[in-house]
């Protein structure tokens, strides 16, 4: 999130408070732009409006673990896939039809989004279907 403008301003800063405010503003702008890019990607990929709206992130970049592997969003185009939106409450119960748990591993904080995971690979995605 640090850009050339921020580095130049840091080198010539006389007022640390103004510098801090400038960095906060630039960081927030960069956060918004990155997350808006992700929201546009959701719109371009997921055609069902209700599903797309539920998948859009409305928080700062890296505030939560990103779940946007290249195969993730296109999955919601499939007829046998339905998003279960828990609206932030988590899973309430498991029914007789089963549940799918999805987990990721290998995320490295502080790296660029193009260099995620161990040795620069995309995090491994593990789908574990559980049927009864």
- What are the pLDDT digits (tens) for 68-111? 678 889 999 899 888 877 777 766 677 787 776 655 554 555 55
Cα–Cα distance between 65 and 86 in angstroms, integer?
A: 17
Cα–Cα distance between 30 and 130 in angstroms, integer?
A: 40
Percent of the chain predicted with pLDDT > 70 = 65
Please give the mean pLDDT across all residues of the chain: 74
Per-residue confidence (pLDDT) for residue 33, from 0 to 100 = 92
Whether 4 has a pLDDT exceeding 60, the answer reads: yes
The phi, psi pair for 100, rounded to 5°, reads -115, 125
pTM for this structure? Answer: 0.57
**Residue 56 near residue 44 (C-beta atoms within 8 A):** no
Q: What is the pLDDT of residues 45-58, one digit of tens each?
A: 999 999 999 888 88
Q: Between 105 and 35, where is the model more confident?
A: 35
Cα–Cα distance between 80 and 53 in angstroms, integer?
A: 19
Secondary structure letter of residue 62 according to DSSP: T
Residue position matching structure tokens 């828990």: 86
Q: Residue 45: count other Cβ atoms within 10 Å of its Cβ.
A: 17
């Amino acid at each position: 999130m640090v850009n050339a403008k921020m580095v130049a301003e840091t080198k010539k800063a006389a007022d640390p408070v103004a510098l801090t405010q400038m960095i906060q503003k630039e960081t927030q702008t960069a956060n918004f732009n990155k997350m808006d890019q992700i929201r546009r990607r959701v719109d371009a990929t997921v055609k069902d409006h209700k599903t797309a709206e539920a998948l859009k992130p409305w928080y700062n970049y890296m505030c939560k673990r990103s779940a946007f592997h290249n195969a993730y969003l296109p999955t919601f185009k499939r007829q046998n896939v339905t998003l279960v939106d828990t609206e932030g409450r988590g899973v309430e119960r498991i029914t007789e039809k089963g549940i799918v748990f999805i987990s990721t591993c290998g995320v490295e904080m502080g790296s660029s989004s193009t260099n995620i995971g161990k040795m620069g690979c995309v995090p491994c995605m593990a789908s574990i279907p559980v049927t009864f």
